[in-house]
Each structure stands twice: as C-alpha cells, then as structure tokens.
C-alpha cells in the first residue's frame, strides 16, 4: 500500500494516476483511493460510483464499507472516489472522541475484497490533519513528492513532523518511507539543477533515481482523463513512470 503526500501543487495526484496506469500495464490490479477533499483524482479520471457512494460516505456512515464505494475505471484500475463536499470532513473528524485518527483503519480491516488488489494507492490531501493521519494509519509505505520550487523542502519537513507525531501515539509503527520523488523538474534551468543537488545532499539514500521532468504531454493526458501510458503509447514520458515503478518494486522487495 502506498501513500503519496506532501505540500500542495507538486503533482501528487498526477503521480498517483500515472503510477496506477503503469502498474495496470504490468498486469497488476490496483485500487486508487481519493483521500483529497479537492477530489482531484476523481475529477481527472471523470468517474463516479453507480450508487453515488464516495470516500466521504465511508468516513461518515458506519454502515458503508470499502466494498460499497468501489468504482471500476477499467479491468485493472478501481477507484474510491471523493467529492468536494468532503472539505468539511476535517472539522467533522475533530469532533470524534476516540476514533478520529483510526476511522479509516477500522473500515479497512473489514474490507472483504482487499486481497483482490496487488497495490492500493492513496492520493492524499496536502495537509497534516486528521484525514492524512487516517490514510497513514492504514499504509505500509509512504511516498513523498517534491517539485523544484523554493518551498520544495517544506513538504519534506512537514511530513517528517507528521510521522513523528504518529510514532508518539503508536498509530502505525510499521509505516516505512518508500522514497522521495522529484516531479515536474525542468532540465534546462540552473535553479532546478540546484534544487536537485540540495535534495540529493540531504536525502541521498531516500531519493528515487527517477526524475519526472515537466512536459505538456502529462497535462494533455489529464485533460482527456487518462494516465500517461493510456494517452501516449510508449516513449520517454511513459518510460519515466515505468522506471519509477521498477524502483518501487525493488524497494518493496
């Protein structure tokens, strides 16, 4: 299970969707969970649950299960969608007494069909609040995404703080960092190279070798509601995510 999160605007949703596409192309079944109140993954893939059930319902209604909320994108990718209305969820969870960090975990333990999936990817909100803690509580690994902005390091520091908080309350003692992905980098600018060098110096062992460079092709794929490998048949844009996939596999094994 993978958890993808950092500060907003770094391409975590695009990464989630494209990684799902590449995983599916390898013949693996993957579930994408849209745990972001902006419902970016849901909107990009342009899908909705036949029963109208979303992750928001999963959090709020004790009778709703993971199985109820599954939406099929294709034969290899399923999605648990979300709605913009879930923006109120953080406030709602804060009013819970003893279960506010573990509501998703208790539901996941009763998820009957979870063994159908080789991978579960959670596209998470760019926050350090209760929604994020719920996602971390059910994750085996977390993957951090950074861009080449001046605030690139901020997301890493915030994430480190959240993990330390989890350890303090023993929310998930088995959670491991899978790696740090440099996304939307620019090959041509000196500034982008400088950011990469700084990150390499501080997080060398945790960095993926793969770097996702910015391209209009990724934007075009999102516009037509597809992972990159469903939009472009092969080439360097797809290969970049294949390389990331193989790095992930090697680290999980």
Separation CA 199–CA 231 (nearest Å): 31
How high is the pLDDT of residue 108?
96
Predicted confidence (pLDDT) at residue 28 exceeds the cutoff of 70:
yes
First to last CA, the chain: 13
pLDDT band, residue 106 (cuts 50/70/90):
very high
Q: Which helix (H) or strand (E) holds 112?
A: none
Q: For residue range 156-167, what is the model confidence (pLDDT) as tens digits?
A: 888 888 888 888
| Contact assessment for residue 159 and residue 203, using Cβ atoms and an 8 Å cutoff | no
């Amino acid at each position: 299970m993978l958890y993808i999160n950092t500060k907003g605007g770094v391409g975590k949703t695009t990464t989630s969707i494209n990684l799902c596409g590449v995983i599916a192309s390898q013949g693996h079944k993957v579930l994408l969970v849209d745990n972001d109140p902006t419902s970016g993954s849901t909107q990009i893939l342009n899908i909705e649950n036949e029963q109208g059930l979303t992750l928001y319902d999963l959090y709020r209604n004790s009778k709703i299960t993971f199985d109820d909320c599954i939406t099929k994108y294709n034969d290899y990718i399923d999605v648990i969608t979300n709605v913009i209305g879930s923006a109120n969820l953080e406030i709602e969870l804060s009013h819970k007494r003893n279960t506010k960090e573990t509501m998703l975990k208790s539901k996941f333990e009763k998820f009957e069909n979870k063994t159908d999936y080789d991978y579960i990817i959670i596209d998470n909100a760019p926050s350090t609040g209760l929604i994020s803690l719920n996602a971390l509580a059910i994750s085996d690994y977390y993957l951090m995404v950074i861009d080449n902005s001046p605030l690139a390091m901020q997301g890493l520091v915030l994430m480190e703080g959240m993990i330390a908080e989890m350890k303090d309350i023993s929310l998930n003692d088995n959670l491991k960092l899978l790696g740090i992905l440099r996304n939307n980098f620019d090959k041509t600018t000196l500034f982008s190279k400088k950011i990469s060098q700084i990150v390499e110096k501080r997080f060398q062992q945790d960095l993926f070798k793969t770097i996702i460079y910015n391209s209009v092709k990724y934007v075009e794929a999102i516009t037509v509601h597809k992972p990159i490998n469903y939009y472009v048949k092969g080439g360097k844009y797809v290969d970049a995510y294949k390389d990331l996939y193989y790095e992930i596999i090697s680290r999980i094994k």
